[in-house]
Structure 1
Amino acid sequence: MSGDDEPLTPAGRLFQQPQMNQVIHCVIGLKNQIDVDLIKTEIQNSVMLQHPRFTSLMVRDHRGVEHWRPTKIDMDRHFLVINHPVSEDEDEDDESAISEYVSDLCTVSQLSTDKPLWEIHILMVHKCIIFRIHHSLGDGISLMSMLLAGCRKLQDPQALPSISIPNNKPRRTFWNILVTLFFSFIFVIQFILRCLWIRDRKTAISGGSGVDLWPRKIATATFSLEHMKTVKAYIPNATINDVLFAVISSGISRYLDFREPNGLRDGVQLTGLAMVNLRKQPGLQELSNLMKSNSGARWGNKFGMILLPIYYHRSNSSDPLEYLKRAKVMIDRKKQSLESHLSYKIGDFVMSTLGPKFASLLNYRILCNTTFTISNVVGPQEEITIGGNPVTFLRANNSALPHALVLNMVSYAGKADMQVQVAKEIIPDPKFLAKCFEDALLEMKEQVTAKI
């Protein structure tokens, strides 16, 4: 081992295991034609290359333990410029062509370990940039902060984008502490049982062991943040996350009505697995500290997992706003608990005592025992530019998981795009599923408007 080598964090080692080898894809649409040389210059001068993890190789010592080893960056090896349409169908629009290209990346393309674990694909014809970054380099919050540090506001080219992140700290009373302990105990027991043997009932959207190797399709569900705010105003103290989960609950019920019109009884539970950021002050406000090489406690992967159950209800016989009421009750209980913090501590303990292979096995099992994954990353509120080129959309997804359904939402400039990634042999019609989610929000918004 070289004297300059730095060991990977426990989470970084986890994401190097074959079953959990994850690459994050950040997909950026641009308004104008892309100047490749300008993008290279922007990346070369960005905070990204000031952080040692983006200028280091991942190497293993004689014991098989992973380390970061500093190396010299060859920018040309990290850029893949594609000058032709990426779809064989000449009539396919940019949206579909980009989705098809990214869905292929989810299963067939890993990052080479003979260079730092990131690369940038530029689809010239489709005016799109795809950042591919290995999950061992950082989580969604870290990488979003890093990416936006190289952007500027469209209306103020000298200003960094701003991210509004609510900080709702509950007031700690004796009763609240008892409630927190109660829910924490219940949810952690449920979490452990999920890791071991309890699993969701098989439905038309269920995945399982080996499904992470199956071909993928991606569609995008687009939501208006104004519509989501209108819906959340229906219930006092509701949040955008409450609305999002209500939309997912309703949308999945709608889809299952179509795929299993007579096969499910009302109230069947399907469980989502969500990643929760555990940093106290995430976002660009702390970026200067987050990117410092000596702030390893902040940069990297610091998130816990929580289980989010939804319940199937026939969409033609239920009030769409009931999904919101159920979602708020469930998520409020999750917020009152320490489930995400304790799941992080459990994972860290298993990694430290039993090693990454056993931790990878447990993570893989909990994915196989649940039905879908969901993440929600808050993006900038206003329009931004990269190298002076206006950004039209921001999206994110990751390598395939044992789930047949993976949902990744990023908000940007008044709208939220949710990438609906599916195993196409199980869910062959992701565009229809995406429309189920969009229609669920519109129906909720219409119901709220009618009640005002």
Structure 2
Amino acid sequence: MGDSELERDQPLTPAGRLFLQPQTDQVINCAIAGVDPLDIEAIKTEIRNSVMLKHPRFGSLMVRDSGGREYWRRTEVDIDRHIIIRQEPLSDDPDNDAVNDYMAELSFSSPLSMDKPLWEIHLLMAHMTVVFRVHHSLGDGISLLSMLLCSCRRLDDPEQLPRIGGVGASSSRRRQWGLLSLLKVVWYTLIYVLGFIFRALWMKDKRSALSGGAGVELWPRKLVTASFSLDDMKTVKRAVTDATINDVLFGIITCGFSKYLDMRSPKALREGHQITGVAMVNLRPHPGLQDFAKLMDGKSKTRWGNKFGMLLLPVQYHGDCSDSLRFVKRAKAMIDKKKLSLEAPCSYKIGDTIMSIFGAKLASILNYRILCNTTFTISNLVGPSEKISIVGNPVKHIRVTSSSLPHAITMHMVSYAGKADMQILVAKEVIPDPEVLAKCFEDALVAMKQAASIKT
């Protein structure tokens, strides 16, 4: 390797190295459906002029030196190698969600090629859908969605960038600190950090109809969508004192799981049977797309890369789902404790320290064990609050999923223009009927809205 090459090479961050380990290798898949047919040349032109190609990571190869250390090395980007065009329909069945099936196939059997920068764009011409694939080592969901939206414009004002809002918006209320609150912070942080350590070493969920485990990430997948109205979620939120949209979301998940488990194994579970989810939490402030667009000028306050913590979220099975608002109240009580703790930043710092001192291999093993010892993954991204267009094409929906994990069920939700679509990726051999599970989630919100309307 010559001196000029060494000058160009940039080492990967610890988190970037983690996502390149075999057990935690992750690709993010984002489907953007348009209203009009796709214009291939316009899309290529937009890519050439985009913020993405100005970022060095999207124009770099991942290389390893003789010691196995990973580096980014700048290279020329051949756009045509990154664009995959599918002209023919993906399915002859009009009732089949062919794009979801396509993304499910990508999630477990189609890694990105290492002989080019780690991203691809699939143009599904017959379905008027663009599938953007990017390796998780390049950045987390917040970074990548922000970068993608910098190429979009508001439909009602084509000169303006989209505005972000909806699910997951943080409260502007200031927390009042006192001695009791500080003691609770210390106590809950200690308990939850110990929980992470125990999960990585030996503690695991009891088996249920939703359980995965080591090796399940290699099993065939199926992908379905559960759609929610943000107005309905807000109606439920107002019916529970001081609740948030995220409380409502997790109440929906808890109620939906209980309904589904009651159908799959009604006599196998005891009341209060607990399964545990792993949630990804953004740790950086999100100042807006206008600031993100200045990233290449070095003037942005936005930090690129992977910066998120993990929360362990317990879900308890309840056979009686008649009082649907009770699930939101229980979710709020649990999440309030999580918010009061420093679990998410501590999990990030512990992982970063392990990767920096002991290397990505050990961090990958511990991460994998946590996933094997829990039951599901969930993430939630805040998308545009109004309708947008990309390359002049109005966007119908934005849906995100990722590579499969040892979990048999992975859920990723993105809000967009008054709706929230949750992509439910399952191992088909464990959950053969994910459409039923998606319906359980949707029915849970309907029941909660009805209960909230009666209460008000």
Q: TM-score range by the shorter chain?
A: over 0.9
Larger mean CA deviation between 369-378 and 297-306 belongs to 297-306
Q: Map 1:106-145; keep pairs closer than 5 Å.
A: 106-145=107-146
Q: Where does residue 394 of structure 1 map in the other structure? A: 398
Letter in 2 for 1:369: N
Displacement, 1:349? 1.0
Query: Match for 1:180 among 167, 185, 189?
Result: 185
CA distance in 1, matches of 2:23, 2:297: 30
Q: Where does residue 437 of structure 2 map in the other structure? A: 433
Displacement, 1:315? 3.7
SS of residue matched to 1:403:
coil
CA distance in 2, matches of 1:285, 1:183: 37
CA contact (8 A) 1:273 1:372 kept: yes
Letter in 1 for 2:93: D
CA contact (8 A) 1:51 1:292 kept: no
Deviations, residues 177-229 of structure 1 (Å, cap 9, x unaligned): 22111111111111111111100010001000000000000000000000000
Q: Where does residue 218 of structure 1 map in the other structure? A: 223
Displacement, 1:172? 3.0
CA distance in 1, matches of 2:114, 2:392: 32
Q: Where does residue 268 of structure 1 map in the other structure? A: 273
SS of residue matched to 1:257:
helix
Q: Map 1:239-278; keep pairs closer than 5 Å.
A: 239-278=244-283
Q: Map 1:322-341; keep pairs closer than 5 Å.
A: 322-341=326-345
SS of residue matched to 1:125:
helix
Instruction: Give runs of ≥4 in structure 1 deviating > 4 Å.
Output: 289-297
Q: Where does residue 84 of structure 1 map in the other structure? A: 88
Identity %: 58
Letter in 2 for 1:117: L
CA distance in 2, matches of 1:105, 1:446: 38
- After TM superposition, the score normalised by the length of structure 2 is 0.96
Deviations, residues 261-320 of structure 1 (Å, cap 9, x unaligned): 21100001110000000002354253135455697981000001010101000145x411
Letter in 2 for 1:86: L
Unaligned runs of 5+ in 2: none
Unaligned runs of 5+ in 1: none
CA contact (8 A) 1:13 1:356 kept: yes
Letter in 1 for 2:35: K
Q: Where does residue 65 of structure 2 map in the other structure? A: 61
SS of residue matched to 1:351:
helix
Asked whether 1:231 is paired with 2:236, we answer yes
Letter in 2 for 1:23: V
The verdict on how the C-alpha distance between 1:19 and 1:282 changes in structure 2, with shifts beyond 3 A counting, is: farther
Asked whether 1:74 is paired with 2:91, we answer no
CA contact (8 A) 2:291 2:301 kept: no
Q: Where does residue 370 of structure 1 map in the other structure? A: 374
Query: Match for 1:51 among 42, 52, 55?
Result: 55
CA distance in 2, matches of 1:327, 1:163: 25
- After TM superposition, the score normalised by the length of structure 1 is 0.97
CA distance in 1, matches of 2:135, 2:274: 33
Q: How many residues align?
A: 448
CA distance in 2, matches of 1:156, 1:435: 36
The verdict on how the C-alpha distance between 1:114 and 1:128 changes in structure 2, with shifts beyond 3 A counting, is: same
Displacement, 1:167? 4.4
Query: Match for 1:41 among 38, 45, 68?
Result: 45
CA contact (8 A) 1:257 1:315 kept: no
Letter in 1 for 2:127: H
Displacement, 1:175? 2.7
Asked whether 1:299 is paired with 2:304, we answer yes
CA contact (8 A) 1:247 1:440 kept: yes
Deviations, residues 52-77 of structure 1 (Å, cap 9, x unaligned): 11111111111111001011110000
CA contact (8 A) 2:237 2:244 kept: yes
CA contact (8 A) 1:252 1:436 kept: yes
Letter in 2 for 1:193: F
Deviations, residues 313-345 of structure 1 (Å, cap 9, x unaligned): 0145x4111100000011111111000000001
SS of residue matched to 1:233:
helix
Letter in 1 for 2:118: L
Letter in 1 for 2:372: C
